[in-house]
Structure 1
Amino acid sequence: MSTFVVLGAQWGDEGKGKMTDFLAEKVDLVVRFQGGNNAGHTVEVGESQYKLHLIPSGILYDDKINILGNGVVIDPEALFKEIDYLEKLGIRVTPDKLLISDRAHVIMPYHRSMDRLNEKSRTNTIGTTGKGIGPSYTDKAARSGIRICDLIDPAIFKKKLKENIKEKNELLVNVYKEEPLDFDEIFKNYSNYAEKITPFVQETSVKLYDEIKAGKKVLFEGAQGMLLDIDYGTYPFVTSSNTIAGGVCTGTGIGPTMVNGAVGVAKAYTTRVGEGPFPTELTDATGEWIREKGGEVGVTTGRPRRCGWIDLVILKTAARVSGLTNLVVTKIDTLAGLDKIKVCVGYRFKDKVIDYFPASLEDLAKCEPVYEEFDGWGEEAATAKTYEELPENAKLYLKRIEEFTGVEVSIVSVGPKRSQTIVVHEIGESE
């Protein structure tokens, strides 16, 4: 495949950062197409660890072009903090390595304020990160957002900011009884960001199209996971963008015929951060054991992740809605040491077993997981260098995942480092 998307096949936190970093070695461009700095990727290279929130994982290679597409919402303050963080670790972040779409929307201070206040006022909280992602997408849909192209034009930025500050202050003061925002302070700060961001800004849709036509290889990097998709996730406990493969086209400005494949990344078990339904969640000692052994704490939020058995209904749904061509299974080593491991292969709902994810959360709450049980495997899983060296029980487990989803497991991860990656089939080999 010359162009493919790497995306989360569960609720996020599946190890997409590591896999993007691993697969980026053989591509020319790495492109982020949705979300904002509410995402978090941890990548380990040798003895070094990098925590990324907004910038594509390809930035760790010096010869890759990285793009933040128009579907991304960008907080300039967070962007330049991340750039400073990377450069202190010796990673070069320059306008020849990082390109930013002039059509991407800007997260403003009032978006963060509204995010916090909206969450506080809800009867049932969503579990938002409070970084202004949702309100920024809300303004985008309401056609009152400020784009990067507006930010870097002083006259347009001043006009739009005045209109927005007036509107937001009416809400903040009259509805939420908060202090008003200061236009002059925000205009000054963001004018400084505009000056700093200008060298990175391009019409990235044209750049990307030209690079693909020239035969360059492109990896599209997803944030969050399929079940946080605004349309196909566990709504309303979702993010505010399309995390499925279809989001690539709207989030980067290329047509669907230019994407050749979709790689879904899934943990050998299931986790999620925040509120919402979780059919296979383990609230017992086993769930706590998986959490501790797997280091399941959110990169961006710092919140402990909820843990449960792998849910193949979820993975089959991800395969269907994103047209997955390959699966990557991570953290097979985390489950090592358990005597028995369960796999959800359906939901018992209204006296029948279904193998799809219901839209209604009320229906989902009535679904009872149907499990198959597998014998566990030993700690030797963490030292396996090839598929053949994996424990036999782990291989049976992986085969069941393939059989149920209809998608081959092309890569197995047995640890966080690049070297702890087993390639079963080269990505694109069977296409």
Structure 2
Amino acid sequence: MNKRSIAFVGGQWGDEGKAKILTWVLRFMRNDLYSNLDLFEKDTEKVKRILTQRFQGGGNAGHTAKTGGRKYAFHQVPSGIVYSGTYNLMGEGMFVNPRELLNEIRALMRKGLRISPDNLGVATNAQVTLDYHVEDDQADFNQEEHSSTGKGIKETAEDRAGRKGMRFIEFLDADLMAKILRDTHFPDGYVVTTLPGEREPTTLTVEEYAHSYDVERFFLAPYTVDETRIVNDPTFLYHAFEGAQSLRLGLNHGAVPGTSSSDPDLVPHRPDIIMGIFKAYESSVGIALRYFVGEMDTELADAVRATLGEFGTTTGKPRHIGWFDVVNARYSIAAAQMDFLSLTKLDAMEIFAEVGSPVKVVTDYNIDGQVSREWLDYFHRRDTLKSAVPVHEVLDSWDRTVERDGHTLTPPAKRYVQCLEDHLKKHFSIIGIGPADDEVIVRENPIEVFYS
């Protein structure tokens, strides 16, 4: 069988539940492949047929996966690590923070995950986020609105674009790291920084600063791999690309200036399938620097936020909450050329019946009296959609999403999904009806459909 590849791209503002759909698809891949292996291979941990890759972003992203009754939070490590039989690549488009990566790996291992160079790799060309990137970013971080995540991502991206960045393979050589630091950032040979565990800044030579990473360097060195070699390895029969953030936060298609510092929809290595992930409503951490046309009123958002769990996985900031925006979604589907769609957290919409509110769908934008349900060229101006007024279709809310058989949508939930599909002119292949990776209604398996 030739390698089969699928990418998972968020179509809204992040936090769409990409890891949930990814882990369901990975479980299908694993069952599909292992059903064709002989007994000896099934019992061999070294059998790795599935490649899972994070291809952009860094510790500013937060993915949550619930499988086997346990909940896992990921920031840099790909979510596929929850399954045996996978090899998980932190790709060359990522921003890797060695100190945080070491802590994340150890935390996941304490929760029972097996992590080693046999199932996790860091691309040699990935850019490294260092303490001074984080310290510079922290100056812009606060718990209000769209400040930075404080993870040093923008600063690392600026260094990469300005040809002053450091690759992971270079970080692993302390002498080379010190030379690069002197050549690019610290020509006098000194770094003023606050080391982990310390409260006050200290002055170090670039050599001392480089060696302050010796623990991380020693631990992470065995994980180093060349991405080109890995993705062309013929023993991988499936390749799953895990996008971070979302298209609407990307540099090219995002709502400037409130974007991230990478492009979540520019997937490398030509995947066969693009799966778009959408939540049944929308949420966004901070909207001061970007539009959020479908935002619901503050009182209603405050009433449902805790039940919906709308706090950032990475920042802990309360998210703004809005109704599903089909104008925005249609643009995302077209821009990312999404082949299949998934809808998550449909069951979470039950909270609106509990608080006595109907549910709404943003069908059009009203801008100074001009109503549009299509994405127009000038919407890319940063000043246009800030003044847009949403036009809603209002539907009854529901207190139960699925019938007692566990896989049939109740009539009001079905009407809501049908409303979205009618406006999007595209149907949802997978619908999430609970937090666990197996709590889904699979109307069609995108892999079986595409490769049939």
**Fold in common (TM above 0.5):** yes
Contact 2:401–2:433 under 8 Å retained in 1: no
Match of 2:180 among 149, 154, 160: 160
Match of 1:266 among 268, 278, 282: 278
2:229 maps to what in 1? Answer: 206
- Measured after TM superposition, the shift of residue 115 of structure 1 is 1.0
Q: Over the residues paired in the alignment, what is the CA RMSD in angstroms? A: 2.4
Do the aligned partners of residues 300 and 429 (structure 1) sit closer, same or farther apart at CA in structure 2, a change above 3 Å counting? same
Moved more, 156-165 or 364-373: 156-165
Structure 2 residue 220 is the aligned partner of structure 1 residue 197: yes
- Measured after TM superposition, the shift of residue 160 of structure 1 is 0.3
Structure 2 residue 304 is the aligned partner of structure 1 residue 302: no
Match of 2:113 among 82, 91, 96: 91
Contact 1:313–1:344 under 8 Å retained in 2: yes
1:292 maps to what in 2? Answer: 306
C-alpha distance in 1, partners of 2:404/2:314?
A: 29
Superposed CA offset, 1:19-65 (max 9, x none): 22111123411100000011111111233111111101100012101
C-alpha distance in 1, partners of 2:248/2:188?
A: 31
C-alpha distance in 2, partners of 1:327/1:238?
A: 23
Structure 2 residue 369 is the aligned partner of structure 1 residue 351: yes
Contact 2:191–2:209 under 8 Å retained in 1: no
Match of 1:311 among 314, 320, 325: 325
C-alpha distance in 1, partners of 2:188/2:322?
A: 41
One-letter amino acid matched to 1:236: P
Contact 1:385–1:421 under 8 Å retained in 2: no
Contact 1:29–1:64 under 8 Å retained in 2: yes
Contact 1:290–1:335 under 8 Å retained in 2: no
Q: Secondary structure at the match of 2:347?
A: coil
Superposed CA offset, 1:137-190 (max 9, x none): 1000000001012112333222102234416999989xxxx9675234421122
C-alpha distance in 1, partners of 2:158/2:404?
A: 47
Contact 2:365–2:388 under 8 Å retained in 1: yes
One-letter amino acid matched to 2:226: E
One-letter amino acid matched to 2:231: L
1:341 maps to what in 2? Answer: 359
Segments of 5+ residues of structure 2 without an aligned counterpart are 30-49, 194-199
Q: Secondary structure at the match of 1:342?
A: strand
Q: Secondary structure at the match of 1:137?
A: helix
- Measured after TM superposition, the shift of residue 201 of structure 1 is 0.7
One-letter amino acid matched to 2:340: N
Structure 2 residue 250 is the aligned partner of structure 1 residue 229: yes
- Measured after TM superposition, the shift of residue 90 of structure 1 is 1.2
One-letter amino acid matched to 1:401: L
Do the aligned partners of residues 169 and 8 (structure 1) sit closer, same or farther apart at CA in structure 2, a change above 3 Å counting? farther
State, as a whole percentage, how many aligned pairs show the same letter: 30
Segments of 5+ residues of structure 1 without an aligned counterpart are none
2:99 maps to what in 1? Answer: 77
Contact 1:139–1:145 under 8 Å retained in 2: yes
- Measured after TM superposition, the shift of residue 308 of structure 1 is 1.1
- Measured after TM superposition, the shift of residue 271 of structure 1 is 0.2
- Measured after TM superposition, the shift of residue 109 of structure 1 is 0.7
1:42 maps to what in 2? Answer: 64
Do the aligned partners of residues 116 and 171 (structure 1) sit closer, same or farther apart at CA in structure 2, a change above 3 Å counting? farther
Structure 2 residue 385 is the aligned partner of structure 1 residue 364: yes
C-alpha distance in 2, partners of 1:75/1:67?
A: 15
Match of 1:425 among 444, 448, 451: 444
Q: Secondary structure at the match of 2:164?
A: coil
Superposed CA offset, 1:69-116 (max 9, x none): 000000011111011011111101100100111000000111011112
- Measured after TM superposition, the shift of residue 428 of structure 1 is 3.1
- Measured after TM superposition, the shift of residue 381 of structure 1 is 3.5
Q: Secondary structure at the match of 1:345?
A: strand
Do the aligned partners of residues 85 and 427 (structure 1) sit closer, same or farther apart at CA in structure 2, a change above 3 Å counting? same
- Measured after TM superposition, the shift of residue 269 of structure 1 is 0.5
Match of 1:322 among 336, 339, 353: 336
C-alpha distance in 2, partners of 1:14/1:310?
A: 11
Contact 1:169–1:181 under 8 Å retained in 2: no
C-alpha distance in 1, partners of 2:333/2:188?
A: 41
Moved more, 270-279 or 164-173: 164-173
Q: Secondary structure at the match of 1:307?
A: strand
- Measured after TM superposition, the shift of residue 327 of structure 1 is 1.2
- Measured after TM superposition, the shift of residue 127 of structure 1 is 1.8
C-alpha distance in 1, partners of 2:429/2:248?
A: 22
One-letter amino acid matched to 1:196: F
One-letter amino acid matched to 1:22: W
Match of 2:76 among 54, 65, 74: 54
C-alpha distance in 2, partners of 1:385/1:133?
A: 42
1:186 maps to what in 2? Answer: 209
